[in-house]
Amino acid sequence: MNELKKVITLKDLWDARATLPTPIGLVPTMGFLHEGHLSLVKRARSELASVVVSIFVNPTQFAPTDDLNAYPRDLERDIALLEKAGANLLWMPTPEIMYPPDYQTWVNVDKITKPLEGKKRPGHFRGVTTIVAKLFNAIQPQVAYFGQKDAQQVAVIKQMVRDLNMPIEIIASPIIRERDGLAMSSRNTYLNPAERQAALVLSKSLEAAKSAYQNGERNAQILRVKMEEVINAEPLARLEYISCADYDQLNEIEKIEKKTLLSMAVYIGKTRLIDNEVLG
Amino acid sequence: MNELKKVITLKDLWDARATLPTPIGLVPTMGFLHEGHLSLVKRARSELASVVVSIFVNPTQFAPTDDLNAYPRDLERDIALLEKAGANLLWMPTPEIMYPPDYQTWVNVDKITKPLEGKKRPGHFRGVTTIVAKLFNAIQPQVAYFGQKDAQQVAVIKQMVRDLNMPIEIIASPIIRERDGLAMSSRNTYLNPAERQAALVLSKSLEAAKSAYQNGERNAQILRVKMEEVINAEPLARLEYISCADYDQLNEIEKIEKKTLLSMAVYIGKTRLIDNEVLG
């Protein structure tokens, strides 16, 4: 079993950080860890000298109507999983440490935050980029690992890192799925058994579009319609958006010519799920 | 004579940065250096293992009506002065390096950027905080030195550093003045001889207020009026704002009870000058 050092305050973090061998990898999380998170920790462990994990349910990336208070937590289980996965240092700051009373600084990424998730969740990416900048500054990793499931988040963070000259490599790791195809997410815990079954429409619709692509289909609208048909056939599902966009800047396209992101947000009952697939 | 390494690209900066002994001090400048800048470089030299200086006339902190294109430059002279002052590394990025075509990330500090300079120069501090964040990320200094002449800039940067968890100490060094009291500024070069003489009203008005304070005056409005009278007596001067505010958050005050900032912006002909004095 690996020894996992746990810290809360910024001072304790900096003291512990100073003793870690470099290069250091960071895996930022909101806790309630699943195999997706752990695959990032294990990958970082195999590639770098030290792995730091942060657990912080960041209030500024939730809208007032979002599930901040309901967001699932199980710190004891998370710690046991991180020890097993080989993390070296866990930072669990409180909201008061991250956002003291006179807090007033925000990192904004413009264009690439506008479509998809940014359109449906105003303010979400301002919260994400601000907290990730804070984590990067506080921990100073050489590499940071993110799950490809939040594909737009990865694109936004890469843009921020490039724009702000941060000396950090961003690695996106593939989506980890349950055996039946459902993308792993802490929010899957909200689903009742019927919803859990219905939630398969996300990965199924992506499979349908991917299969059409592999058979030579390059018309983006035809792929969107194929995905929509699968989602709409499921009574418990309500489509929020479906997208076929260029991978780098996330603009909707007509014809698939280079690396492309298929993505979607779907409500299953009251639970909002996202999923995506990269083509090309 | 000190050996000064000069770099332009981010890659060359990072290669050179990696060879510098730590701790590293950064002195960010817009060039056209005067004794104020050089006092920061010399102080950094005496306190730390290495000194990095940046010269970059940052377009995003100038409004369209500002003096970006007229801003004075003399790189050859700057380099000679930095060699003599003992700087180790000079970064002179181009605007294209700092703001490539798809650039889209901004650091915003809210409340403390609203009064004084922020009120008169909309967007100015967004440009300042963004470029300083970029310089900090690219250079990763342990300490950064700023001139107290830009008092609000110092307060804004301290707020940003605290809010974004940057592991950097911010040091503000006292205003360096000409023998007759004029605060040193690259913009003093715009003044013709009559204006140069008239520009003394800034320091004289601060002296008048300070002297009243030292004689026991604690009513902020009385100090403001004293300063205004000195400025208004000079035909070439046009007062833009005058302030007596609390030092930390820059709110205007009624009664002086703790550390206080007297500050002002005054047009001398077409040249906008600022000056300030800290009380208590």
Among B138, B141, B168, B132, smallest CA distance to B49 is for B141
HEC string for A45-82: HHHCCEEEEEECCCHHHCCCCCCCCCCCCCHHHHHHHH
For chain A, first and last CA: distance in Å? 40
Per residue in B93-109, pLDDT (tens digit) is 999 999 999 999 999 99
Q: Which of the residues in chain A have pLDDT under 50?
A: none
Ranges assigned E (strand) in B56-124: 89-91, 105-109
Compute CA distances B23 → B45, B113, B131, whole Å: 11, 30, 22
Tokens of B182: 């004029």
Find the mean pLDDT for residues B161-185. 97
Q: Give me the residue label for tokens 């820059």.
A: B250
Classify residue B170 by its DSSP letter: E
pLDDT for position A201: 98
Whole-angstrom Cα Rg for chain B: 19
**pLDDT(B27) > 80:** yes
Q: Which of B110, B159, B166 is closest, CB to CB, to A137?
A: B166
CB contact under 8 A, A165 and B105: no
Q: How many CA atoms lie within 13 A of A249 on its CB side?
A: 8
Tokens of B197: 């003489």
pLDDT for position B198: 98
pLDDT for position B21: 97
**Bridge partner list, B241:** B265
Find the mean pLDDT for residues B168-175. 97
Tokens of B196: 């140069």
Give the pLDDT band (50/70/90) at residue B2. Answer: low
Q: Where are the alpha helices (DSSP H) in B32-122?
A: 35-47, 75-85, 95-98, 116-120
HEC string for A91-109: ECCCHHHHCCCCCCEEEEE
Phi-psi region of B77 (alpha: psi -120 to 50; beta: other; left: phi over 0): alpha
**Complex ipTM:** 0.96
Q: Count Cβ atoms within 10 A of the Cβ of residue B233 and give its class: 0-12 exposed, 13-18 middle, 19 or more buried.
A: exposed
Catalytic residues of B: 37
Higher confidence at residue B85 or residue A3?
A: B85
pLDDT for position B1: 56
Per residue in A135-190, pLDDT (tens digit) is 999 999 999 999 999 999 999 999 999 999 999 999 999 999 999 999 999 999 99
A7 in Cβ contact with A91 (< 8 Å): yes
HEC string for A224-251: HHHHHHHHHCCCCEEEEEEEEEECCCCC
pLDDT for position A65: 87
CB contact under 8 A, A105 and B104: no
- Choose, from A37, A45, A204, A226, the residue flagged as catalytic: A37
CB contact under 8 A, A109 and B111: no
User: Could you state, in order of their start, the residue ranges of all structural domains in chain A?
Assistant: 5-173, 186-275
Q: Which of A14, A105, A167 is closest, CB to CB, to B108?
A: A105
Spell out which chain A residues touch chain B, with contact meaning CB-CB distance below 8 angstroms: 10, 14, 102-112, 129-130, 133-135, 137-138, 140, 159-160, 163-167, 249
Q: Give one DSSP letter per residue of A8-46, joined into a string.
A: -SHHHHHHHHHHSPSSEEEEEE-SS--HHHHHHHHHHHH
Q: Is the previous residue joined to B23 through a cis bond, with omega within 30 degrees of 0?
A: yes
| Percentage, residues of chain B above pLDDT 90 | 97
Q: Give me the residue label for tokens 């289980």.
A: A77
Q: Give me the residue label for tokens 């996300």.
A: A202
Q: What pTM, to 2 d.p., does this model score?
A: 0.97
Substitution target in B12, B152, B165, B246 with the highest count of A β-carbons within 10 Å is B165
Chain mean pLDDT for chain B: 97
Nearest CA in chain B to A10: B165
Catalytic annotation present for A34: no
Q: Count Cβ atoms within 10 A of the Cβ of residue B163 and give its class: 0-12 exposed, 13-18 middle, 19 or more buried.
A: buried
pLDDT for position B248: 87
Per residue in B248-267, pLDDT (tens digit) is 889 999 999 999 999 999 99
CATH class of A186-275: alpha beta
CATH class of B186-279: alpha beta
A28-59: b (≥16 Cβ within 10 Å) or e: bbbbbbbebbbbbbbbbbeebebbbbbbbbbe
Per residue in B122-168, pLDDT (tens digit) is 999 999 999 999 999 999 999 999 999 999 999 999 999 999 999 99
CB contact under 8 A, B105 and A110: yes
- CATH code of the domain made up of A5-173: 3.40.50.620
**pLDDT(B8) > 70:** yes
Sign for the CA dihedral angle at B250, B253, B259, B265 comes to positive
Q: Which of A14, A164, A167 is closest, CB to CB, to B105?
A: A164
**Bridge partner list, B147:** B173
pLDDT for position B82: 98
B175 in Cβ contact with B183 (< 8 Å): yes
B171 in Cβ contact with B189 (< 8 Å): no
